A = this chain, B = another copy of it.
């Protein structure tokens, strides 16, 4: 393969593996690049070798004609520190969103964002996965409210109990 072409192919495969965030099959890569599967596989093998030799911060794990880009295992400990930071940032954001929904809810995503001043799509999705909020359909809109599970965690029975508690505090 010509040097120029090879560099171009490598760059695209790198972009694909990076952006995908999950395993992609050699077949899929071959189709996108209009090369054959064998060539896709060779490219990936070559890249694996390069990453290791250059001691890069990521690797390519391949299995069953699929490849996935991952971070380098030797940096796992540092990454766990990063995840700790993330954990406290996420907890903080979750508590804020839950507070607003508990006292002002039910709210649409836009209403919640207006109060918090930041985009809330990810946090709403995660709070739903955690079962800490419910989405209630009202016409075309979805309004979010804290869940029964959340109230249980606080040891109270209803949102009204919560809201009456704090209304005096806010006015």
Which residues from chain A sit less than 8 Å from chain B, CB to CB? 7, 10-21, 24, 28, 31-33, 55-58, 69, 71-72, 74-75, 78-79, 81-83, 85, 113-114, 117-119, 125, 128-131
Say yes or no: B13 contacts A57, CB within 8 Å: yes
Say yes or no: A28 contacts B85, CB within 8 Å: yes
Q: How far is the CA of A18 from the CA of B79 in the complex (A)?
A: 10
Say yes or no: A118 contacts B113, CB within 8 Å: no
Say yes or no: A11 contacts B119, CB within 8 Å: no
**Residues in B neighbouring A55, C-beta threshold 8 A:** 7, 11
Q: How far is the CA of A49 from the CA of B7 in the complex (A)?
A: 17
**Residues in B neighbouring A58, C-beta threshold 8 A:** 14-15, 18
Q: Smallest distance from the beta carbon of A150 to chain B beta carbons, Å?
A: 13
Say yes or no: B82 contacts A16, CB within 8 Å: yes
Partner of A119, one of B7, B24, B82, B130: B130
Say yes or no: B117 contacts A32, CB within 8 Å: no
